C-alpha cells in the first residue's frame, strides 16, 4: 500500500489525506463558498503569482517551477475571463479551484505553490485586495457625485428656496447652499474611504495558517509586489482581522445614508405639492393605471437601499463579535455582505450622479415657496435688534405678534401696512420692508458658512479646486 494520495478517492484532493469519505451533500452545500468567492479570482491569482515569485527569489522554489506556476496562473486567469470556467463545488472555494486547474495545466509544480502559505492568509490577502479596489471605486464614484452637486450649486448660487427645519419653512436659503451641504457630506464620505484604504493597506500574506512559517520567506517583497505599504506585523491578527471589511461597510453605510437623505428630498421636491424639481423621463417611471403619473422610482429605491447596506454592516459585525482568535469558518460569511454592499453603493452613487445631473430646479416654485410661510420673520426680528436696539427676546415677541396678525389676515409679513406694524411697535419704519424680501434675506447671511450667494460661489470654487477642477 502506498501513502500517496489516491486521486480517485471521494475525499478532497487538497486536504483529504486523513479523510476516507467525501462530505455529505448538505455539508458541501453549507461549506462551499465558490458560488460567491469566484469574484475574487483575479485577486487570488495576483496573490499567488506574487507568492510564487517570492518563493523563487528566496530559493524555496526553483525558478523553473515558479515560472511554470506564474505562466499557468495566467492561463487560468484568461480561462476564467473567457467565461465558462468549470468551477467545481467539491473544491469548495476559489483558492482550491484555481490550484486544481493549475495542477491540470502544469502538473507537479502546482503542488509546490502552497508552500509557506495557508488559505487563511490567502483569503485575507485576496479579500483585502478586493476591498481596496472597492475603496478606490467608491472614492471616484463619490467625486463624480460631488461634481454633479457642484454644477447645480454654481448654476443656482443665488436662487432662493425655503430652508426647512422640522420640514417646516424656516428661513430662505439659496439652492446652491443646499447643494453644497451634500458636497460637504460626500467629502466626509470620501475621506472615510481614503482613511480606511490607508489603514487596510498592509499585506497579511505570509502569516500562513496563523503562526508564520519556518521557510525563509520575504514578506516585504510580496507586500510591495501587491501594492501594500508593508506586511502586517502579527500573524495571528493577520488571519483573524476583518476590520478592513467592517470599515468599508461602515463608511458605505454612512455614505448610503447620505444618498438616502437626498433621495427623500427628491421624492418630496418632485411631488405635485412641492414642484421644486423636475426629473426627466430618464429617471422616472409611469403607472400602469394612472396615466398622469411620473414616479421617482430611482430615488425611492436609493432611499430603500441604504437599509441593505446597513444590513450588511450589521450582519458582519454580528458574525465577527465574540470570535476567538484566529480564523474561524464563520469568517467566510464576510464576502457576500461586502459584495452586496459594494454593488449597492456603486449603483447608488451612479444613479444619484445621474439624477443630480438630470434634475431641473423650478426657480419660480422655489422662490414662491421661499417667500411664503413667514420665512423672513427672523430678518424682521434682527432688524428690530439692529435698528431699534431691542433685546432679541423682545424683538422675537414683537415679530411673533406681527406674524399672528398676518396669519389672521391671511397674508404674509410684507403685505402688512406700515400703520399695522406700528400698532405693534411704534418705532418700526418704512425701511423694514427691505429686510422682508427673500433676496435681501439670503444676501445678508454672509457669516462664514452662511447661505449668501457670494459665500456659495466662494465655497463652490474652493471645492472645485480641491477636486482638481479649478478653471
Nearer to ligand ARG, 232 or 441 (CB): 232
In 3D space, the residue among 346, 266, 260, 262 whose CA is nearest the CA of residue 303 turns out to be: 260
Tell me the three state secondary structure of residue 174.
strand
Closest CB to ligand ARG among 36 and 85?
Answer: 36
If you search the block for the grid coordinates 528566496, which residue do you land on?
58
Q: Give the x-and-dash track for 7-36 against ligand ARG (CB under 6 A).
A: --------------------------x---
Spatial contact of 438 and 367, defined as CB atoms under 8 Å apart: yes
Least gap, CB of 245 to ligand ARG (angstroms):
12
* Secondary structure element (H or E) that encloses residue 194, with its range: helix 175-200
Q: Which residues contact 163 (CB under 8 A, 6 or more apart)?
A: 169, 170, 171, 172, 173, 178, 375, 451
Which CB atom, from 125 or from 384, has the smaller least distance to ligand ARG? Answer: 125
Q: Does the protein bind ligand ARG through residue 331 (CB under 6 A)?
A: yes
Catalytic-labelled residue, pool 166, 288, 417, 447: 166
Question: Which of 114, 220 has the CB closer to ligand ARG?
Answer: 114
Nearest distance from C-beta of residue 83 to ligand ARG, angstroms: 23
> From residue 160 to residue 189, what is the string marking binding to ligand ARG with x (rule CB under 6 A)?
------------------------------
Q: What backbone torsions phi and psi does residue 15 show, to the nearest 5 degrees? A: -135, 15
Say whether residue 93 binds ligand ARG (CB under 6 A).
yes
Instruction: Check if the beta carbon of residue 361 is closer than 8 Å to that of residue 175.
Output: yes
Interface segment toward ligand ARG; rule CB under 6 A; list 102-110, 116-124, 183-191, 296-304 = 116-124
CA angle 404, 409, 415 (to 5 degrees): 90
Could you tell me which stretch among 52-60, 327-335, 354-362, 458-466 binds ligand ARG (CB under 6 A)? Answer: 327-335
Annotated catalytic, 166?
A: yes
Residue 327 in the binding site for ligand ARG (CB under 6 A): yes
Active site residue 328: no
CB of 142 to ligand ARG, least distance (A): 28
If you write DSSP's letter for every residue of 388-426 in order, what string do you get? H---HHHHHHHHHHHHHHHHHHT--GGGS-HHHHHHH-T
Nearest-approach distance from CB 117 to ligand ARG, in angstroms: 11
> At its nearest, how many Å lie between ligand ARG and the CB of residue 114?
12
Q: Which stretch binds ligand ARG (CB under 6 A): 102-110, 253-261, 329-337, 402-410?
A: 329-337
Q: Give the footprint of ligand ARG on residues 117-156 (CB under 6 A).
A: 119-120, 123
Q: How far is the CB of 332 from ligand ARG (least distance, A)?
A: 4
Element (H, E) at 42: helix 41-57
Query: Shortest gap between Cβ of 124 and ligand ARG (angstroms)?
Result: 9
CB 190 within 8 A of CB 200: no
Question: Taking a C-beta distance cutoff of 8 angstroms, is the pair 73, 49 a contact?
Answer: yes
Q: Of 270, 326, 332, 441, which one interacts with ligand ARG (CB under 6 A)? A: 332
Calpha distance 392→316 (Å, rounded): 52
Among candidate residues 63, 191, 271, 287, the one labeled active-site is 287
Piece of 99-107, 162-170, 245-253, 324-332 that binds ligand ARG (CB under 6 A): 324-332
Cα 221 from Cα 236, distance rounded (Å) = 20
Is 240 or 332 the residue whose CB approaches ligand ARG more closely?
A: 332
Q: Which residues face 161 on adjacent strands?
A: 173
Contact between 345 and 256 under an 8 Å Cβ cutoff? The reply is yes
DSSP tag of 51:
H
Q: Give the interface with ligand ARG as residue ranges (CB under 6 A).
A: 33, 37, 93, 119-120, 123, 327, 329, 331-332
Catalytic positions? 166, 287
Amino acid at each position: 500500500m502506498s501513502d500517496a494520495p489516491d486521486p480517485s478517492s471521494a475525499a478532497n484532493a487538497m486536504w483529504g489525506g486523513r479523510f476516507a469519505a467525501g462530505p455529505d451533500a448538505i455539508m458541501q452545500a453549507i461549506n462551499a463558498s465558490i458560488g460567491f468567492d469566484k469574484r475574487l479570482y483575479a485577486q487570488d491569482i495576483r496573490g499567488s503569482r506574487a507568492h510564487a515569485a517570492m518563493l523563487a527569489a528566496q530559493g524555496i522554489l526553483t525558478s523553473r517551477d515558479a515560472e511554470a506556476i506564474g505562466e499557468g496562473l495566467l492561463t487560468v486567469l484568461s480561462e476564467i475571463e473567457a467565461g465558462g470556467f468549470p468551477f467545481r463545488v467539491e473544491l469548495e472555494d476559489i483558492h482550491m479551484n484555481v490550484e486544481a486547474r493549475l495542477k491540470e495545466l502544469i502538473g507537479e509544480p502546482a503542488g509546490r505553490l502552497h508552500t509557506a502559505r495557508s488559505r487563511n492568509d490567502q483569503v485575507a490577502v485576496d479579500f483585502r485586495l478586493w476591498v481596496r479596489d472597492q475603496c478606490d471605486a467608491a472614492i471616484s464614484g463619490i467625486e463624480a457625485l460631488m461634481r454633479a452637486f457642484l454644477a447645480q450649486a454654481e448654476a443656482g448660487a443665488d436662487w432662493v428656496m425655503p430652508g426647512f427645519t422640522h420640514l417646516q419653512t424656516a428661513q430662505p436659503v439659496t439652492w446652491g447652499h443646499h447643494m453644497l451641504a451634500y458636497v460637504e457630506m460626500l467629502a466626509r464620505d470620501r475621506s472615510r474611504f481614503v482613511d480606511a484604504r490607508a489603514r487596510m493597506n498592509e499585506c497579511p500574506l505570509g502569516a500562513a495558517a496563523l503562526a508564520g512559517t519556518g521557510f525563509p520567506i520575504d514578506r516585504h517583497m510580496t507586500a510591495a509586489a501587491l501594492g501594500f505599504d508593508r506586511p502586517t506585523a502579527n500573524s495571528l491578527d493577520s488571519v483573524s482581522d476583518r476590520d478592513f471589511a467592517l470599515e468599508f461597510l461602515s463608511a458605505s453605510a454612512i455614505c448610503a445614508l447620505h444618498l438616502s437623505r437626498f433621495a427623500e428630498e427628491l421624492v418630496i421636491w418632485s411631488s405635485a405639492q412641492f414642484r421644486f424639481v423636475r426629473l426627466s423621463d430618464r429617471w422616472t417611471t409611469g403607472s400602469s393605471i394612472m396615466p398622469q403619473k411620473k414616479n421617482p422610482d430611482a430615488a425611492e429605491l436609493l432611499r430603500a437601499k441604504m437599509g441593505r447596506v446597513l444590513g450588511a454592516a450589521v450582519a458582519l459585525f454580528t458574525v465577527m463579535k465574540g470570535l476567538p482568535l484566529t480564523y474561524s469558518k464563520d469568517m467566510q460569511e464576510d464576502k457576500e455582505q461586502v459584495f452586496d454592499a459594494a454593488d449597492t453603493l456603486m449603483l447608488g452613487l451612479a444613479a444619484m450622479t445621474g439624477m443630480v445631473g438630470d434634475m431641473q430646479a423650478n426657480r419660480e416654485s422655489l422662490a414662491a415657496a421661499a417667500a411664503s410661510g413667514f420665512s423672513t420673520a427672523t430678518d424682521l426680528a434682527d432688524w428690530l435688534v439692529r435698528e431699534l436696539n431691542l433685546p432679541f427676546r423682545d424683538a422675537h415677541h414683537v415679530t411673533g405678534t406681527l406674524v399672528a396678525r398676518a396669519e389672521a389676515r391671511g397674508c404674509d409679513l410684507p403685505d402688512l401696512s406700515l400703520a399695522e406694524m406700528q400698532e405693534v411697535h411704534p418705532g418700526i419704519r418704512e425701511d423694514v420692508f427691505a429686510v422682508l424680501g427673500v433676496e435681501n434675506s439670503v444676501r445678508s447671511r454672509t457669516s462664514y458658512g452662511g447661505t449668501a450667494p457670494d459665500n456659495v460661489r466662494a465655497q463652490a470654487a474652493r471645492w472645485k479646486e480641491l477636486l482638481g477642477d479649478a478653471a
